[in-house]
């Protein structure tokens, strides 16, 4: 297992899972927010994001967490595993609030430097976006998960308990097996 794709809506735990899997596998993590944003919360152009995603996807080994669905078809073809974190909206909203509080005034580990968590017009727009895309974004992820390219590669996790159990199984496999853990 050399390439793992993680998708999910904001607050689903993509970055946290990616870091945990990196500890288990030794694979490098690619955070979409580092591609999407530049310091000072400056958004890259769509073309630049697409180019950077394709460059990252061309790598031999990665855990790529996050969106930019324009590049999902290429990414899923290269991925050995697709993990869809499909957690309830209420939990996700709580997690987004908690990460705002926990990292307030500082950049999160999955963001570029100079992108501090803050409460303002932009963050309120982000909350509105989470609410407004809750159905359409999920439908897009369901289409990807149901695609021919995802067949035999999909791990669909729908609760904190499922995520924790799956991750624990990966950790146990690592402790009990030689070398890098083969994810299941």
Residue closest to 110 by CA, chosen among 180, 22, 1: 22
Q: Answer whether residue 182 is part of any domain.
A: no
Number of domains in the chain: 1
CATH at 149: 3.40.50.300
Q: Is 165 part of any domain?
A: yes
Distance (Å, whole) CA 87 – CA 75:
22
pTM across the whole model: 0.91
Banded model confidence at residue 119, pLDDT cuts 50, 70, 90: confident
Domain membership flag for residue 27: yes
- Give the pLDDT score at 179: 44
d(CA 133, CA 141): 12
Q: How confident is the model at residue 180 (pLDDT cuts 50, 70, 90)?
A: very low
Evaluate whether residue 184 is within a structural domain.
no
**Sign of the four-CA dihedral 30, 126, 141, 24:** positive
CA distance 51 to 71: 9
CA atoms of 117 and 41, how far apart (whole Å): 10
């Amino acid at each position: 297992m050399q390439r793992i794709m993680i998708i999910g809506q904001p607050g689903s735990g993509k970055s946290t899972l990616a870091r945990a899997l990196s500890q288990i596998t030794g694979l490098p993590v690619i955070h979409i927010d580092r591609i999407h944003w530049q310091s000072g919360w400056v958004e890259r152009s769509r073309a630049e994001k697409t180019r950077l995603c394709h460059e990252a996807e061309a790598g031999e080994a990665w855990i790529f967490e996050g969106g930019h669905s324009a590049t999902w078809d290429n990414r899923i073809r290269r991925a050995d595993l697709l993990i869809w974190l499909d957690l309830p909206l209420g939990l996700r909203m709580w997690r987004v609030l908690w990460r705002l509080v926990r990292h307030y005034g500082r950049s999160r580990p999955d963001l570029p430097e100079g992108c501090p968590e803050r409460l303002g017009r932009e963050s309120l727009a982000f909350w509105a976006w989470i609410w407004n895309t809750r159905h359409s974004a999920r439908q897009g992820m369901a289409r990807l998960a149901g695609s021919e390219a995802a067949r035999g590669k999909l791990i669909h996790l729908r609760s904190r308990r499922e995520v924790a159990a799956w991750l624990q199984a990966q950790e146990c496999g690592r402790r009990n097996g030689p070398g890098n853990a083969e994810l299941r």
